[in-house]
Amino acid sequence: MTMRRNMTRRSDHRGRVAATTGAILVVLTCAAAAPAVEDAVYRVPDQALVDIIDTPKTPRLNIGPTREWGVLISRPGYPSIAELAEPELKLAGLRIKPDSFSPSRVWPNNRLEFVRIDDLESRPVTGLPDSPRITNVRWAPGGARVAFTNTTARGVELWVADVQTGRARPLTGPIVSLTAGEAPAWLDDGETLICCLVSADRSDAAALEAPRVPAGPIIQENIGTKTPARTYQDLLKNPHDEVLFELYLTSQLALVELDGTVTAVGPPAITWDFDPSPDGRYILVQSLHRPYSYTVPSHRFPLLIEVWDLEGEVVHTVADHPLREQIPIARGSAQTGPRSVVWRADAPATLCWAEALDGGDAGAEAAERDRLFLLPAPFDGEPTAWMTFELRYDGVYWGHDGLAIAGEWWWDDRRIRTWKIQPGAPEIPPELLMDYSWEDKYNDPGAPVTVRNEYGRSVLLTADDANTIFLIGDGASPEGNRPFLDAFDTYHKETNRLFRSEAPYYERPVLVMNKEARRIITRRESVDEIPNYFMRDLVDGTLRQLTFFPHPTPQLKGIQKELIRYKREDGLDLTATLYTPAGYDPEADGPLPMLMWAYPREFKSADAAGQVDDSPYRFDWVGWWSPVLWLTQGYAALDGPTMPIIGEGDAEPNDSYVEQLVSSAAAAVDEVVGRGVADRHRIAIGGHSYGAFMAANLLAHSDFFAAGLARTGAYNRTLTPFGFQSEDRSLWEAPEVYFEMSPFMHADKIEEPILLVHGAEDSNPGTFPMQSERFYSALKGHGATVRLVMLPYESHSYRARESLLHLLWETQQWLDEYVKNAPEPGSTGMTE
């Protein structure tokens, strides 16, 4: 069903066309009139918007394993476009800085400060180099020090900082490899680290260029085997890419002592993952090998899983998986053979893994899906078949021999079940603890609280003879989210609520200080109070502030925020967060132009879709992504109006995507107009990624909005033929759904002005930059008012300061011209 309302279009739009050269900016525009040339430079928006972008970033607190000390980790502002323009390799789904053998898309930290929890004594970490680029901060077992990496122009160094002195020092030169993303890890002694070192000759790597004349064609072949794959970015493309992949991913595993001694462990390999055993005697090593693939990323390449001793000798081979191109696309599908291989966190050296019993195909009928296995050191016996799951295995929270919590899930009915199991007695049947839908936020029991054990591993925090665990959850409710801390007796299946957030604050427990749960550390905030950490005594009710972070955007203090509720045409309950400027009164001031920013979600249950999953008391972090920014420019904002797409029973949500989307948007527009806050003819719709897809669809299938903002979206679903978002069916199984949902196929219906923005180096599966480029061409071909902005070097999200300011400038110009200053219906839009 299509719902359209009559709106008068502006006919006097004067088109603008811009083009750029080099790596500065690519801007494409179109109009009915001849294009005018703009300066090919980054633009800057209103100063109020610049000030928000340049707001200093708030530190985060990482509390140590003994809970005596924490480390405040600070990061600098947004990087420059020059930093993003540095050389980058795109190999098999990875993005690498070749000069430093590290990931290229990270946001490093630049300052560390130790803070004692009891008296708030502060010890800034000294000895750091100028302008450090700190990542991978890791507490040692025992909490005496932290390790971290520092990226320089010559490579990545491994550093350590001592809590007692606050002094930091390097343990290695720029020889650490982070290309696979694996951070250095502590052994149980708290004095030895394990990490990957660069094994390639840097001069050879720098000189390795692609041949100008190919040796032959690039050939791929498939002989009768079904190998469906979702749409991935940055895949290997040719034999030269394979050579580069091996050169930059091959590393040498090594032990590093606190005195700087480095000892190689085993031969160089494409180390994909490593994890020392809790007792520090073994290393679980996962490495990639040939043959590689041009259709799936590196995490699907052949994978060898072994256990090494500290001398690098292989003591046990867990599995050697072939190339994993054949995993079905149905959600819940998995590889065959051992997967999710981990150490049992509460034992010295015991392996645990799952194996599929249904061939790994979630689309196949099966009474049993997975089985869990245990194998203790010295790994020379047969693994113990521990537990069989009817659904797909979802991991284990370890506690002790008599208690672990295992989870399973299933996509089709959004089901989660958790079980109490006894690792020390695998012959004892599991006990069902919880069975619920993850869509049902009101009945979400929360996640178990963990604590560091003597090995430095996270295990369940238990009390009452180790039968009671603790759970922290969001506490969704009809009045909004109210985070909680519960004690759950796993023996009697009884829950005791220890804490629940109270209005007008949003207060979430983050750490339980002891097994009696008398004291907890919370993160407390309100509409006008930035989140800070507090120590709360649950016995005497006292509250002590631990951090004192300042308000990052004082210019937005006093804004009015309201969680509003309204109904869709079919009676479904919907919610949104309404923002208006400080002191605004709709009766006295009249309706405002509005930006509505949304992201649709799929549900299998209408009851769950109507639940409230937000809080009116949360502090709003306002950055380039937030519609609240535009309150500084005289707009109202409606953030997160729920756009549920429901498919109950055998129906799939997307079978009626357009109808439900338009109905939800109509309800939101009617609500804000009925409140006198928004002018029906001056509302813009916007979104990012799947929200951009939504915005384009609403412009194609309704007349509710004066203009649209679509950032980094996908618009033609035939370019993602093996599924997208929550759609499991392929294009050939549901062609009418793919066609109807694609705004590209309805480009001729879009009459409202739309601003398309896309990162030119988008790495997100499915949202190739060409999605926006081709959508722009389709709209232009039908005479639409459209502007396409391609941001150089930006990925799915945007990072460079110049990019962000230009994005806001483009948005400001678009909103002011087509929303704030839109003519009244029936007018010509001309003034005398």
β-sheet with 122-124: strand ranges across:
60-63, 69-74, 111-116, 122-124
Residues 254 and 622: their CA atoms lie apart, in Å, by: 43
Residues 186 and 258: their CA atoms lie apart, in Å, by: 11
Q: Which phi-psi region, left, alpha or beta, contains residue 112 (left: φ > 0; alpha: ψ -120 to 50)?
A: beta
Phi, psi (degrees; rounded to nearest 5) at 730: -85, 170
Closest CA to 725 of 613, 615, 643, 625: 643
Torsion of CA 373, 376, 378, 380, to 10 degrees: -30
Residues 745 and 734: their CA atoms lie apart, in Å, by: 15
Catalytic residue annotation: 689, 762, 796
Check residue 382 and report its DSSP letter.
Answer: P
Query: Under a CB-based contact definition with an 8 Å cutoff, are residues 659 and 1 in contact?
Result: yes
Query: Under a CB-based contact definition with an 8 Å cutoff, are residues 729 and 602 in contact?
Result: no
Q: Tokens 């932290």 correspond to what residue?
A: 146
Residues 150 and 137: their CA atoms lie apart, in Å, by: 10
Residue count of the chain, please give it: 832
Query: Under a CB-based contact definition with an 8 Å cutoff, are residues 78 and 804 in contact?
Result: yes
Buried b (16+ CB within 10 A) or exposed e, 789-822: bbbbbbbbbbbbbbbbbbbbbbbbebbbbbbbeb
Give the tokens for residue 601.
Answer: 């979600």
Check residue 190 and report its DSSP letter.
Answer: S
Query: Under a CB-based contact definition with an 8 Å cutoff, are residues 103 and 181 in contact?
Result: yes
Check residue 802 and report its DSSP letter.
Answer: H
334 alpha-carbon distance from chain centroid:
21
β-sheet with 94-97: strand ranges across:
89-91, 94-97, 102-103
Q: Tokens 């709709």 correspond to what residue?
A: 586
Residues 683 and 818: their CA atoms lie apart, in Å, by: 9
Residues 310 and 304: their CA atoms lie apart, in Å, by: 18
Q: Tokens 């003597």 correspond to what residue?
A: 454
Q: Would you call 82 helix, strand, or coil by DSSP?
A: helix
Which amino acid, residue 68?
A: E
Residue 82 CA neighbour count, 13 Å, CB half? 0
Residues 61 and 71: their CA atoms lie apart, in Å, by: 6
Query: Under a CB-based contact definition with an 8 Å cutoff, are residues 556 and 632 in contact?
Result: yes
Query: First and final CA of the chain: distance in angstroms?
Result: 42
Q: For residue 317, what is the enclosing H or E element? A: strand 314-321
Residues 108 and 156: their CA atoms lie apart, in Å, by: 12
Angle between helix 657-674 and helix 690-701 axes, rounded to 10 deg: 80
Q: Tokens 């030269």 correspond to what residue?
A: 240
β-sheet with 314-321: strand ranges across:
270-276, 282-288, 303-309, 314-321
Q: List the beta bridge partners of residue 511.
A: 521
Residues 273 and 339: their CA atoms lie apart, in Å, by: 13
